[in-house]
A = this chain, B = another copy of it.
Amino acid sequence: MSIVVMKFGGTSVADADKIRAAARRAVRTQKKGHQVVMVVSAMGKTTDALVDLAEQVMRGKPAPKREMDQLLSTGEQVTISLMAMAMEEMGASAISLTAGQIGMVTDEAHTKARIKSIAAGRIREQLDEGRIVIVAGFQGVTAGGAVTTLGRGGSNVTLVAIAAALKADLCENYTDVDGVYTTDPRIVPNARKISIISYDEMLELASLGASVLHNRAVEFAKKYDVPVHVRSSLNNRKGTMIVAETESMERIAVSGVALKEEVARVSLSKVPDRPGIAARIFHTIATHDIVVDDIIQTVSEDGTAVVSFTVDPGELSEAKAVCNGLAAALKCDVRYEDHLAKVSAVGVGMRVHTGVAEKMFAALAKAKVNIENITTSEIRISCLIDRTQGKKALRAVHDAFELGAKKTKSKTARKAAKK
């Protein structure tokens, strides 16, 4: 008998009808002869409402993290019990389990805890008694019994962790999109659904904005080699399989392209070019909890270095405060730019195909998009460009690698999108 672990996100369990629809899917799957575990998120806007209550009580001050976790974990607990009710109402046998009840033990890092172990036996026991097991996503429990939460994308981490612990045959992430697309269909209407993609490609695409599965979940899936099926809760179509890399994947140079619409850049110039300087700069930045993206260091003709990096525009003012101080200490110049976007092409095929970079740059040139910076990884090429040209650049690169659906449809769609 095979084990299927399925997860439904907040929008897929937002009301009683949606909960019943999700329940029906699980019951159907069980009737086909599978053992079924379901992971669920909090209903729709529940978490927001709880956060709002906490803010009222705290008068805007940050809430103590342990209590925040104790509070937020109730959201998923509501969903699991309602889901179990719905299944029982349909004649199935079901049981809801909180993180504490399945022994999902994490470290003590409240609001962003890491899973340490899962007492998979408790889930198996229930499955073997013929029950559908419904597990609260996003939450864990410390060895001492305090409730923790797993941070952003936490429910997906729960999904993959449970699938790994049970050695599940199938791990399905039901969401409000059909799967992973070659790029954002809202910007490029002829974007095509990808049927199969590697963990590494998914990691590069996810960090660039294709957020159907949070990076922590993908990393977890990669680590334990859990194939994840990302699919829509609204229909029965196949979605995207996220799996370990296969040789056949290398036939395609670029699997997807992504646009990060808002990027800010910090450039330190006339930096003394001696060992330890970069370490000092990024240590200082890290201690201020600023998340740094692409880093570039080049040496000028005068022997000094230029160190530049990108940050989220929302963190730019914080970055300014830190870097002004750094520039003064290092006696170097600093410049801030908040007019950039980043377009990226991703594909494991880049490792074997040549000319991928050239083709991307040519496509941007033809579209009259100026490239301000280039960074690459083994399976990704990213270009910083002017923010106003972001969508145009994305379409150009997507077309250049022929990622779209049928050409005829593509032209019409492109016209429509330009209007």
Binding site for B on A (CB under 8 A): 15-16, 19-20, 50, 53-54, 56-59, 61, 63-64, 66-68, 70-71, 73-74, 77-78, 80-82, 84-86, 88-89, 95-96, 98, 100-101, 145-147
Contacts and interface: CB of A to CB of B under 8 A. Distances in A.
Given A74-B77, A145-B100, A145-B101, A63 B85 contact: yes
B84 A67 contact: yes
What 9 pairs between A and B have smallest CB-CB spacing?
A16-B56, A71-B81, A74-B74, A70-B81, A67-B81, A67-B84, A57-B86, A16-B57, A57-B82
A85 B64 CA distance: 6
Copies of the polypeptide in the assembly? 2
B146 A101 contact: yes
B50 A78 contact: yes
A80 B86 CA distance: 28
A237 B163 CA distance: 58
Contact of A71 (B54, B61, B78): B78
B20 A57 contact: yes
23 contacts: A15-B56, A50-B78, A53-B78, A54-B85, A57-B82, A57-B85, A57-B86, A58-B86, A59-B89, A63-B85, A63-B88, A64-B84, A64-B88, A67-B81, A67-B82, A70-B84, A70-B98, A71-B81, A74-B74, A74-B77, A98-B147, A100-B100, A101-B146
User: Which of A59, A66, A67, A81 has the most chain B CB atoms inside 10 A of its CB?
Assistant: A81
Contacts of A67: 81-82, 84-85, 88, 96
A67 to B, nearest CB: 4
Given A70-B81, A101-B145, 4 more contacts: A15-B56, A20-B57, A57-B89, A70-B96
Nearest to A23: B57
Contacts of A66: 95
B84 A16 contact: no
A74 B81 CA distance: 10
Contact of A77 (B16, B70, B86): B70
A70 B64 contact: no
Given A53-B16, A57-B16, A100-B100, A82 B88 contact: no
A252 B397 CA distance: 93
B58 A89 contact: yes
A48 to B, nearest CB: 14
